[in-house]
Chain A
Amino acid sequence: MTFGLALAWAITVGSLVGLVWWVTRMALRRRHATAWPDGDASASFSLDRYQPMAGLLADDDLVFLQAQPGYRKEMGVRWKRERRRIFRLYLGELKNDFRRLHGQARELVAQSGAESADLVAVLMKQQTTFWRATTALEFRLALEAMGIGKVDVAPFMLLIEALRADLAQRTAPLTAA
């Protein structure tokens, strides 16, 4: 089998399997989704809940720990591992909040008139950005666990900023109505 033919099989079967898997996953998720009361997720959401996450990634506490008498290297390793575990728990909660809030935004757009059509693309872009952001963060956390690099992604940050500006501009007509 030539490389070209192998690639053709990979694209054909891969795209089909991928799309079927995606449809099935979404259908199952939708079937098991619980309806939330109007405005509940949005009203109860607070970003303050995630403030400790920033501290979890900071090196200050580790530097302090290293300066203490009796400090051993394995203590630092264990401390970092625990710190990453807690960070992931927060990240999981943040993902759930994003899903609920984004779900409500989609519901809102689904019930809107034709003039809100642009928001569909905005929401899609927002979802894609979030997927990319969380995947990159998980990947960097995994690398950090192996002692490779730190969680530092400047291009990702620029992407988020671009998304924020785009959304603010596009939601203005809807919010003004």
Chain B
Amino acid sequence: MFGVERALFYLNVVAELGLLFRLLQCRLYRIYGSLFLYWLVQPIESLALLSVGRQSRLYVYLYWGAQTINIFMALYVVQDLFRIALSEHPAIATFGRRSVLAAMALAGTVALAGIALDSTILPGHYPAIQRFATFERSMNFVVLIFLLLISILLLWFPIKVRRNIVVYISGFVLFAAARSFGLLLANLLPQAATLTVSTILLGLTLLCLLIWIVGIRPEGERTTATPGYRRDAEAMQRLSRQLDAINQTLAGFVRH
């Protein structure tokens, strides 16, 4: 299993470089600057980790440092994604900017509720490593919930987003879910299962990278115009009146 994990680790580095090349080749690195930056940092971190011995204390510190950077960068990436997705819809974008903190707070509250899930430290586990994994998986859960909330907002409105954004969100949902639940499993299962969990996690990360490499294309930037009204005050007034009338009718039934 160690050999497979090692091979997946190297394949991930290759795929990260492949994604960076793809974003440069398609000239999408400017539009998806945060994603580009996120995956630019990954191979650098991987090389730094490879340069020190796996069993050393320095390796643990480097790993913690790298993952902390990754977590905060992931938060930046999803917020940037939110901004890009709504950039062509000023009204919703303004609302989004105002409510982004509320969405983050909601996601944080849900993640905080699950902090006790792996509070028991099993024999063979290191408390410091387990606590860090709890922190990391909770932050990934925040990202996951936030991405799902964004998806609900995008689907609720008739917003036709660029295909690349759909691929971008889908990949990050899978990535955040994998890391969140993978780390939870690693903490809940005996020490012997850690290598298996780590191998599966690397496999899923590779899958996300492949989704982005294959899915993000220059033609995916074409925006399909949303059919329907342009800004039409009269239509809005009529719709509002009719929606009110429906709710008033419902209220009327209650009186009987």
Q: Which A residues form the contact surface with B (CB < 8 A)?
A: 4-5, 7-9, 11-12, 15-16, 19-20, 22-23, 26-27, 30, 35, 38-39, 42, 45, 47, 50, 53-54, 57-58, 94, 97-98, 101-121, 126, 129-130, 133-134, 137, 150-154, 156-157, 160-161, 163-164, 167-168, 171, 174-177
Contacts and interface: CB of A to CB of B under 8 A. Distances in A.
Interface stretch (B57-65, B151-159, B213-221): B151-159
A47 B245 contact: yes
B114 A98 contact: no
Interface residues of B, number: 56
A107 B255 CA distance: 33
B26 interface: no
Contact of B250 (A42, A116, A120, A137): A137
A97 B233 contact: no
B176 to A, nearest CB: 11
16 contacts: A12-B117, A15-B145, A16-B145, A19-B152, A38-B228, A38-B229, A94-B246, A102-B239, A104-B239, A105-B239, A121-B95, A130-B246, A137-B250, A151-B253, A153-B254, A175-B233
A126 B242 CA distance: 12
A174 B91 CA distance: 12
Contacts of A39: 229, 235
A21 B168 CA distance: 20
B236 A23 contact: no
Nearest to A23: B151
B254 A137 contact: yes
Nearest to B184: A12
Contacts, number: 199
Interface of B: 89-95, 98, 110, 113-117, 141, 144-145, 148-149, 151-152, 155-159, 226-240, 242-256
Nearest to A22: B152
Contacts of B159: 110
B249 A94 contact: yes
A54 B156 contact: no
Given A8-B116, A101-B242, A168-B244, A160 B250 contact: yes
A101 B240 CA distance: 9
A140 B252 CA distance: 14
Contacts of B89: 110-111
Of B116, B156, B239, B249, which is in contact with the most chain A CB atoms at under 10 Å from its CB?
A: B239
Contact of A156 (B149, B155, B251): B251
